[in-house]
Amino acid sequence: MREQTSEWTEDTVGLVPTMGALHAGHRSLVERARAGNTKVVVSIFVNPLQFGAGEDLARYPRPIEEDLEMLRELRVDAVYMPRVSDMYPEGATTRVVVGAVAEPLEGASRPGHFEGVATVVTKLFWAVRPDRAYFGQKDAQQVAVVKRLAADLDTGIEIVVCPTVREPDGLAVSSRNVYLSPEERRQAASLSRALRAATSAYAGGERDPAVLEALIRNVIEGEPLARIDYVKAVDPGNFTSPGSLATVAVRFGGTRLIDNHDLAQPWPG
């Protein structure tokens, strides 16, 4: 991969890191990268370091032929598909720890997750040497972690954040949505309904994070299959102090979904 990008001396390179199982959200990232660069690289790597004990590493979808067909259609210039043994050779022990922004919420619920994310993203940056890297707003805390990493390690890489892509009923597009039963899928739309309701309350003048969080909880708890992990309104820069970014994690059966929205911004559409 490094040899390939080293030949693109007159080009700008955009990287879209993925774990495969590509969907409309990934498509939007690739299209944004295509519009902003002369070369586009998409990585596909199901990273074992970011899966915790009991999570869905073994059953994570890997429809590689369908993924490659989409990427051919989108005219990407290279697909980087390293093996686990390429990324983590025997004896490799170095990990990248970003610090405070990685500790609350997803960091607390999934210990080691962001260490795995930061480590693999650093390795992808070294392999591809992109000018820009593209991430989705749906994974808002991951975006904050990657921004911190890119700045702290002096990568010179611009982190481009793209809007969350949603289904017609508002559910954020995710590779894990395929795990939902029809009834779980119906009830999962409560996440976007809750965030939309909080956005309306914020627009009406409500600023108390506790009130906004309670509103979100009340909507989601109206669905019998929902099991809330967390609901927090936080500062998007540090994910610790109170702020306007409403972020949620909820389980429906065995599937854990996340979503977020900056309540200071209009609801999309």
Q: What is the pLDDT of residue 53?
A: 83
Q: What is the pLDDT of residue 11?
A: 98
Q: What is the pLDDT of residue 112?
A: 95
Active site residue 23: no
Q: Give dist(CA 211, CA 215) in Å, integer.
A: 6
Residues 157, 51, single domain; the answer is: yes
Residues 115, 186, single domain; the answer is: no
Between helix 190-203 and helix 209-220 the angle, nearest 10°, is: 150
CATH number, position 258: 3.30.1300.10
Whether residue 167 lies inside any domain: the answer is: no
Q: Give dist(CA 31, CA 75) in Å, integer.
A: 9
pLDDT digits (tens, 9 = 90+) for 62-92: 999 999 999 999 999 999 999 999 999 999 9
DSSP 141-193: HHHHHHHHHHHHTT---EEEEEPPPB-TTSPBP-GGGGGS-HHHHHHHTHHHH
Q: What is the pLDDT of residue 101?
A: 97
CATH number, position 117: 3.40.50.620
Question: Could you list the residue range(s) of the whole structural domain that residue 226 is in?
Answer: 175-262
pLDDT digits (tens, 9 = 90+) for 227-250: 999 999 999 999 999 999 999 999
pTM for this prediction: 0.96
Q: What is the pLDDT of residue 269?
A: 75
Catalytic residue among 23, 26, 113, 261: 26
Residue ranges, the chain, pLDDT below 50: none
DSSP 58-125: TTS---HHHHHHHHHHTT-SEEE---HHHHS-TT--------GGGSSTHHHHSTTHHHHHHHHHHHHH
Residues 39, 140, single domain; the answer is: yes
Number of domains in the chain: 2
